[in-house]
Structure formats: C-alpha cells, structure tokens
Structure 1
C-alpha cells in the first residue's frame, strides 16, 4: 500500500469513528487541541496525524486499537524496501542474530487485567556486523482492549559480534479476558527492518488474562 493510500484509509477510519459518536469536526478539533483545517486534512488523507491526535481519537471515540494498528502498520511501521537516500540495503551482508532465552515472563503466563510488567528477551549477535543504533519495534497496534500495551519501540544496547544483549520492553496486560500475542522486529532509526527476509514473526510475547488470576511471580529465568 502506498503512503497516500495508507493516509486515506487512516483518515477515513478517523472520520468514521468521529461521526459514529455524533461529533462535529469543529468540536473534535477543539477537544483535540488542533486546528479544524488540519483535522479536516487528516481525515481526508492529506496530512499525517501526530501520535497525540491518534491517542485522542482512540480514547475519545472508542478506537479499540484499530487506529493504532492503521497508524503503526501503514504509516510508521517497519519498512522492507531499500533506503535509497542513505545507500543502505537490508539485509546487511554478515548481519545475523539468534534468540537465546526468555529472561522473564514465559509464554502463556497468566495474569490479571491491567497488570504491569517487563518482558526481557536475550538475543545474540551471531554475525560479523556490530549492532549500533538499533531498536525493537512493535508490529501492529501498541495497545487495545484485547492486546497488551507497550511503547512502539525500545532501544537495543550496542552489541558487538559474539555478544548477547537483554532487550527490555515495559508492558501492561490487556483488560479483556483471553489470550493475546504481540510481535516485535529489529529496525533502524528510520524504521527499516534489518532482517526483512528472515524472522518474519520477529520475537513475540503470549500472555493470558484472567480476572481471577493473582499477580504472577516474575523472577528472572536466566
């Protein structure tokens, strides 16, 4: 999907949520703290909304994570094409990684709604390329009623070939009972995936929310 089409889809979704709540464009702009002209252009797919505007629409008009998903996936999500501006083409020859361990929160951990925790993965740089300026970026919406909430991305500490690194992501469990899964990929500061042709699912977390569950013991496993 082109950027233009992505913005049009996002704008249409925002307009649908607003009108479904019987809110005028003027009232929405005032409540969101933006100009009516800018909001009109956003809903028409002409302007790119900021995170704060998406957050406002999600909370005020019941987006249930749909806007976040559209925004992250189609506007700011990981990109898999050549970065011609900087002359970098991914994957980089000699760049490689491997999963070492779940350090905290094993997959399938049961927890109460809204429980806050940190997920830690241990990765190893098994290639010949130093990891510098890298991030772990979440795929899809960073939060919603039925999915755990997290930052869009976290920094990965610089890691030389042969070294391991613990990547820490703060999370909050979703509020609806049930099982949910979230995925992350390694990207650069412009959102380009380092391994676009490998590790298609990235690294992931699976948790189960149960309203009767006690807070789990989150001791480090490794």
Structure 2
C-alpha cells in the first residue's frame, strides 16, 4: 500500500487528510503492523488507480488465515501439534527461532508488462539461535487465480546455521491487467505450518505494477 501511494506522489499526511483515517493508523497499516479494513483498502484502490487489486489481495490473505485456523483445529482434535495464535506450528518450532529479510531483487513498485515473467530473489538471514532444516517459502493464499500475481505454491529455503544468510529465488508472472499486484509468502515446514505465525513476523512479499508498456 505504501508503494502504491508513493508511486502516485501522495505524502502520507495528505493521504490521511483526504481519507479521514489517522496518519499513525495509515503508517501502521502500510508497515504491516495493523490489518487494513476493507473500507480503507477500497479507498487505496480507488484513490491510486489500483482497480480492485488490494481488495483481492486482502481477500486472499483472509482465505489463507481461515485455512490456517482450520488446520489448527484439526491438530487440536488429534493432539498432534502445539498451537500458537495464527495456526499450528512445526514440530521443531522454538521461541528463539528468528528470520529477517535483509535484501531482495525486483524492488517493490517495479513496473512490468502484462503477463511478463521475472525472477524475484529474497535474502533471508537466520537471525535466531536455531538452525534451519527442511523449510519452505510458501505462498499465503491462492497462487494462480487469474488476475493476480502468479507464483509457485512454494520454493525451498536452503538450510542455514544461525547467523547465515540464504537466498530464495522464485519465478513470478505479472497479471494480465494493468494495476498493482502483490504476492505474500511465509516460511513454513513441508506441510505448510508457519514458523512465525504472529504479527511479529510480517509476510515476505513482492509488489509490482503491471503496465501496457515498460
């Protein structure tokens, strides 16, 4: 959302004045610390020419959260996994486990042609005290719905010792319509359980703008 506003050349103060939402609230939403309401998401879509891209992405994330809750409830009934807010967690989950995004290619807001394929790479630091083994960067929500930024369902995260930085590269494809599009990912185990299920670890994401010509 921040990239969309900045691409339109609108300062945060002006966005707050025109939208009626508090500047601090908008800042928290744009930094991923607060979930936006549908009304606010629609305002960003309408004000910055994104069509319904942000609303569609909000629906995608909501669907992913509901799916995670369903998995959590099944695990509770089976007494298999410990559960944290946001869904069940992997067997080797540990509170000292941390991940930090330290670099990426294809900066957010990059303009691409309709249906253009591109490789996005994220550099992720194991900033905790636990080694990583058999982890995946997994799409949150649907990966191939027409009109949304398309991606594989997941990509392998290289094993990493504490303090080590690894690179995850994924082939993505811009949607066929003009506008903003975002794909969200989180680190999971092989069956999709989140290592960092809470808001303390926002999703890793890619945001691009699809245009008629570069």
- The alignment status of 1:96 with 2:98, answered yes or no, reads yes
Per the TM alignment, residue 141 of structure 1 is displaced from its structure 2 partner at its CA by 1.4
Distance 2:151 2:69 in 1: 15
Deviations 1:86-118 (A, max 9, x none): 56874512101111011x211000010111111
CA distance in 2, matches of 1:155, 1:78: 24
Distance 2:70 2:155 in 1: 14
Structure 1 counterpart SS, 2:106: coil
1:198 Cα deviation from its structure 2 partner: 3.6
For residues 109 and 71 of structure 2, the distance between their equivalents in structure 1, rounded to whole angstroms, comes to 30
Superposition RMSD on alpha carbons, in Å? 3.0
CA distance in 2, matches of 1:77, 1:110: 35
1:146 to 1:77, Cα distance in 2 relative to 1, 3 A: farther
1:132-151 equivalences under 5 Å are 132-151=133-152
Bigger Rg over Cα:
1
Do residues 85 (structure 1) and 80 (structure 2) align?
yes
Q: Secondary structure at the match of 1:107?
A: coil
Change (3 A) 1:199 1:167: farther
Q: Distance in 1 between matches of 2:70 and 2:164?
A: 25
Cα distance between partner residues in 2 of 1:169 and 1:99: 15
The number of aligned residues is 146
Closer, same or farther: CA 118–180 of 1 in aligned 2, 3 Å: same
Cα–Cα, structure 1 residues 199 and 117, in superposed 2: closer, same or farther, change >3 Å? farther
| Offset of residue 212 of structure 1 | 1.8
Residue 173 (structure 1) aligned with residue 168 (structure 2)? no
Q: Which structure 2 residues correspond to residues 13-24 of structure 1 after superposition, within 5 A?
A: none
CA deviation after TM superposition for structure 1 residue 79, in Å: 5.2
Equivalence map 1:179-190=2 (5 Å): 179-190=180-191
Question: What's the CA shift string for 1:11-57, capped at 9, x where partnerless?
Answer: xxxxxxxxxxxxxxxxxxxxxxxxxxxxxxxxxxxxxxxxxxxxxxx
Q: Deviations over 1:141-175 (max 9, x none)?
A: 11233311111111101011000010111111110
**Which runs of at least 4 in structure 1 moved beyond 6 Å after TM superposition?**
none
1:46-195 residue pairs with structure 2 within 5 A?
73=64, 74=66, 84-85=79-80, 90=89, 92-102=94-104, 104-195=105-196
Mind listing any 5+ residue stretches in structure 2 that lack a counterpart?
Answer: 1-55
Residue 125 of structure 1 deviates from its aligned partner by 0.3
Contact kept, 8 Å, 1:78 with 1:193, in 2: the verdict is no
